[in-house]
Amino acid sequence: MMKYKRILLKLSGEALMGDRQYGIDPKRLAEYADEIKEIHDKGVEIAIVIGGGNIFRGIAGASNGMDRVQGDYMGMLATVINGMALQGALEDKGMLTRLQTALKIEAIAEPYIKRRAVRHLEKGRIVIFGAGTGNPYFTTDTAAVLRGVEVHADVILKGTRVDGIYDADPEKNANAVKFESITFDDVIKKGLNVMDSTAFTLSQENALPIVVFDMNKKGNLLKICNGENVGTVVKI
């Protein structure tokens, strides 16, 4: 028996770059598809939200003089491109998928409908949510928690390039201490950066735990779903 029956997996767009400077690395996509297939074959229901930072970030465009709203919509389209790429990689491994988007792009994806998304999950299909929340000024972290709450996910799994939450940046401070488990309140008190404040507050208010873990370490996703102590758990 898996610890979690239904998960919302949050991946950054940058994670799809692999060793590249931008864009999508097919090798990294295939590796992620293999990891996802392991838990899918165990019966875990999987929803996924991907960022778009490997292609375009609205806030970065705004810092260079672009209209923020226009930039955010461009970023939403970048997440759809990533969603399509992951969808292809998953289907190459024999999994059934559905891509749903908060913006209507009917030629390539279903519009997001909560009941339809839940039904897909119940039938064992992997549902990828693209275009964020469909609104500017909201991050894909917020989209991930929002969709997680809406489809009644048991947990948000945030795949990053570090193996959890530390009291300092482990890439800059060799003495940084990792938390195995931490409460939402302690994250706020210590000023730790887990997700943007909107996403984090939404997760806290709905008592939806977050696990921050290293997605690039083979087997981590399966270990978490098995109930093993991987990464850092943020809970009430």
Task: Give me the mean pLDDT over the 157-185 stretch.
Answer: 93
Q: Are 210 and 158 in contact (CB under 8 A)?
A: yes
Q: pLDDT (tens digit, 9 = 90+) per residue, 27-45?
A: 999 999 999 999 999 999 9
Closest CA to 136 of 165, 103, 173: 103
Q: What φ, ψ does residue 45 adopt, rounded to 5°?
A: -85, 130
pLDDT at 123 over 90: yes
Distance CA 214, CA 78 (A): 23
Residue 62: pLDDT band (50, 70, 90) is confident
Laid out side by side, the sheet with 155-160 consists of 110-111, 97-101, 126-130, 45-50, 6-11, 155-160, 210-214, 232-235, 181-183
Helices (H), the chain: 26-40, 58-63, 68-92, 114-122, 140-150, 184-190, 197-205, 220-226
Task: Give me the mean pLDDT over the 210-234 stretch.
Answer: 96
CB atoms within 10 A of CB 47: 27
pLDDT at 221: 97
Query: What angle, rounded to 10 degrees, do the helices at 68-92 and 26-40 form?
Result: 60
Q: What φ, ψ does residue 75 adopt, rounded to 5°?
A: -65, -35
Complete DSSP assignment for 7-72: EEEEE-GGGGGTTSSSS--HHHHHHHHHHHHHHHTTT-EEEEEE--TTT--HHHHHHTT--HHHHH
**Is 218 strand, coil or helix?**
coil
- pTM listed for this prediction: 0.95
Q: Are 7 and 42 in contact (CB under 8 A)?
A: no
pLDDT at 42: 97
Distance CA 105, CA 109 (A): 6
Q: pLDDT (tens digit, 9 = 90+) per residue, 66-95?
A: 999 999 999 999 999 999 999 999 999 999
pLDDT at 117: 98
Distance CA 50, CA 65 (A): 25
